[in-house]
Structure 1
Amino acid sequence: MSAFLPIRIRFADGRLMQVSSICEAEKALGGRWENKEKRTFKEAARLLAAAREGGCKPQVAFQAFKRAAREQSMLQSVKRSSALKMYDELVRSLC
């Protein structure tokens, strides 16, 4: 089971990858990005390494990764599953 809800990114070379863990996010950093010198990219790399070593909360590192991907327009929309839609409807009905 993955640690996070999956996100899908499109690399600069057009390749797609689904990312839902710290390990997968680190692997994605090795793909083709438009600019690996951007501050958000470097920060994501630093935080992902720290999360793997226990020096950072995984949620913080994953959010940094998403921020870096969003900044470089790499995030792709992902259709929500039927189960997730049902869960959202249930939560809305409780509020």
Structure 2
Amino acid sequence: MGFLPLSIELLDGSKMRVSSICEAEIALQGQWRSKAAAPYKDACRLIAAAKDGTCNPTIAFAAFKAAAIDQRLLLPAKKCGALKMLDDVAKDMM
């Protein structure tokens, strides 16, 4: 199951695009600000539970995103070209 990709930057400066439970698991093994923080621990627990089938993957991925936000690792999403063109057209209409 895939999700809309998240871009994160770990403390060592490495950047990752995360769009699956397996990629989230790999990202959680990287350098985070605090591996003792509750959102990080929740994400680890829920990602593991999603892998073994005892947690809904959507909930686990949301927990991963919450942990990345909590530790200021989530990078802003870039607008795709089509959305930028739509914004430009809408701006011209105002």
The normalised TM-score by structure 2 is 0.83
Q: Provide the aligned C-alpha RMSD in A.
A: 1.9
Separation (CA, whole Å) in 2 of partners of 1:80 and 1:7: 13
Name the larger-Rg structure: 2
C-alpha displacement at 1:82, in angstroms? 3.8
Task: Within 5 Å, give how 1:9-24 maps onto structure 2.
Answer: 9-24=8-23
Superposed CA offset, 1:13-61 (max 9, x none): 1111110000000000010101100011011000000001110000000
C-alpha displacement at 1:69, in angstroms? 0.5
Separation (CA, whole Å) in 1 of partners of 2:58 and 2:45: 14
Stretches of structure 1 lacking an aligned partner (at least 5 in a row): 90-95
Stretches of structure 2 lacking an aligned partner (at least 5 in a row): 88-94
Poorly superposed stretches of 4+, deviation over 2 Å: 80-83
Q: Using the aligned pairs only, state the percent identity.
A: 48
In the comparison of the two structures, how many residue pairs are matched? 86
Give 3-state SS (helix, strand or coil) of 1:17's partner. Answer: strand
Task: Within 5 Å, give how 1:1-95 maps onto structure 2.
Answer: 3-82=2-81, 85=83
Deviates more, 1:30-39 or 1:72-81: 72-81
Separation (CA, whole Å) in 1 of partners of 2:44 and 2:58: 14
C-alpha displacement at 1:7, in angstroms? 0.4
